[in-house]
Structure 1
């Protein structure tokens, strides 16, 4: 916890034992009970992530929809006049409150568990994939996605730069198709991303090389308007359009060809300088907008449709009753509206998935993508054969109990929407 939270007498309401995480309702805590277990007393094979930017402990629970059947579980238990408990099952959970702890989860581990899945989906399966970072303000979303700002330490890099570096490593390891000298067939060496994130060179016959060119867009959604973060001189919002063949796009957005991961890192750093931030009660540099980095892989084999990789740093969710008036209140209303619309889409997709799994026919026309700019832009990845990976950041501090439980439930709904493998 931060020093301010400790001085205020805040308690740690999260304990972890093996694959179980318990969130205790602070209303049920005895006034004379011990404060909270130290991070070093936790026992967990997989754990959460500290946000070094504000020294506030955060636990990250990540969910991907196509994992093995047996998953680690998180449980929330409240103790008041009536004892109740609620369990949540996800694919991974990470704890990094104490860097010296034996099960400390650093940025590399988070990438190994999540980032490699994102990259493999796009590179090996050539499917659209979106990575979301969701959670309350100050819980560590931006650190997990982008890394620590103004830091040259390799260990502090977030998911975005790590995914980009691995992508271009794969591209450089995929030479053009070559003809076999002894036969008339064509043989080529291609790179596949293995589960551990390393490259696996395979020799295949009669398949084109997966080499591609990469284009990048970087936009923010602020107060339900889209702004180009790669064009700081343009202050006007951009319009969202839909193409019958290419899907949803942002009109007149900067769509730049990038030739290296360093290109992307530089452009993201420049774009983040113009991203809308403001001081809130939770974070002195709280992101007040959703940032969407989209990499489009245009395969040199024109028979293959382009593949989109969307990496989304969502603005922090906040309750209106803890937000100040004026601009902050309007921002919070817009943020909550878009997050609510995303939740509605997820709920609708969950209902569709449940009916499909039961062998029932159901129309998907009721999925309201147009209720928010956020869901409109992400429609391609949320619908059809798109894949979704959600990284949820929560705080173990007792004063954030409601937000913590709300985040766990939000991600639980997302899991239900994407439990069926796309055909």
Structure 2
């Protein structure tokens, strides 16, 4: 049994980091214009350099967490070129634990979720299990940094800090702490009503995508050059998935990369999703910023179909197996269709 599905477009929010020489005008209503007024974009919201971490969380993170606590799957994706501030938005500044004012979206979301997961936040006859995972997609492989059941926000934050220490990063000309992998942090909530034996399961997915980079600007060589090529390749595949979904094409190339396979539910699936596009308004990075804004404009055309996932305890396993088999058959059908078209 599942709740009735509802169509919900991907919500898109732009955030600009402090500039050197501003090349864009940003309005809170979501309007973004180039300084010469030749380029215009309209998103759901746009933040300038003066925006605080708390303001961004209240607009981007809190509504998605509220959706998850209501029973839906929810995702926040941070996208943008290297050095644009994605990791700061998601996790806060690097190094030891920062002040609460600078905390990023992920630790704030963890606190909001676990504050709700108390006896007062659940029904009197409910059992609630929360699992936390943190992994990275690095050079086409998925590395599990950690996964375990948690009982408090401190448990989840320890997992987060441990995972960030293990995440692959490097120093480039564009970014002293350039992430060389896509980081995916998830919380899965499984709530069982002992009276009715119904099971409600939902997942919060928070993604810090590695930044696309122009090698001539970043100065990447050797191993870092190979990392940059693979990052750009996986982001290119993500762009192809977005284009296919935006154009309502019958085949969506989720299987072309590990990253897009992992994001299949978040983009075009059973999820409420917000894309946070991080940008630099500096004239020195105008081509990268325009590319990111165009990506975000295409993503705004993507529609998901979200529903509350409820099943009976006895049928939960069978339903999960059935859904897995349906997805497998859809993938096989897509492959056969692609071969026929060729």
| TM bucket normalised to smaller | 0.7 to 0.9
Q: Does 1:384 align with 2:280?
A: no
- Structure 2 distance, partners of 1:151, 1:299, is 31
Which 5+ residue runs of structure 1 have no aligned equivalent? 20-45, 47-70, 79-83, 97-103, 179-208, 231-254, 353-361
Which of the residues 74, 79, 84 maps onto 1:139? Answer: 84
2:24 maps to 14
- Structure 1 distance, partners of 2:105, 2:24, is 25
How far is the alpha carbon of 1:212 from its aligned partner? 2.5
Cα RMSD between the aligned structures? 2.2
Q: Does 1:395 align with 2:280?
A: yes
- Structure 2 distance, partners of 1:267, 1:409, is 34
- Structure 2 distance, partners of 1:367, 1:76, is 32
Structure with max Cα Rg:
1
Q: Does 1:315 align with 2:210?
A: yes
- Structure 2 distance, partners of 1:132, 1:344, is 16
- Number of aligned residue pairs: 284
2:51 maps to 105
- Structure 1 distance, partners of 2:216, 2:205, is 32
In structure 2, the CA distance between the partners of 1:268 and 1:175, relative to structure 1 (3 Å rule), is closer
SS at match of 2:185: strand
1:176 maps to 123
1:228 maps to 144
Q: Does 1:73 align with 2:73?
A: no
TM-score by length of 1: 0.63
Structure 1 contact 292–311 (Cα < 8 Å) conserved: yes
- Structure 2 distance, partners of 1:304, 1:175, is 13
Q: Does 1:327 align with 2:223?
A: yes
- Structure 1 distance, partners of 2:244, 2:39, is 23
2:93 maps to 148
SS at match of 2:301: helix
Q: Does 1:295 align with 2:166?
A: no
Which of the residues 266, 273, 278 maps onto 2:165? Answer: 273
How far is the alpha carbon of 1:345 from its aligned partner? 0.9
How far is the alpha carbon of 1:227 from its aligned partner? 0.9
- Structure 2 distance, partners of 1:212, 1:294, is 16
- Structure 2 distance, partners of 1:94, 1:11, is 17
SS at match of 2:154: helix
CA displacement, residues 173-220 of structure 1 (integer Å, 9 cap, x when unaligned):
324337xxxxxxxxxxxxxxxxxxxxxxxxxxxxxx5x6311011111
Structure 2 contact 267–302 (Cα < 8 Å) conserved: no
Q: Does 1:282 align with 2:174?
A: yes
Larger relative contact order (CA 8 Å, sep ≥ 6) = 2
Structure 1 contact 76–88 (Cα < 8 Å) conserved: no
- Structure 2 distance, partners of 1:279, 1:152, is 21
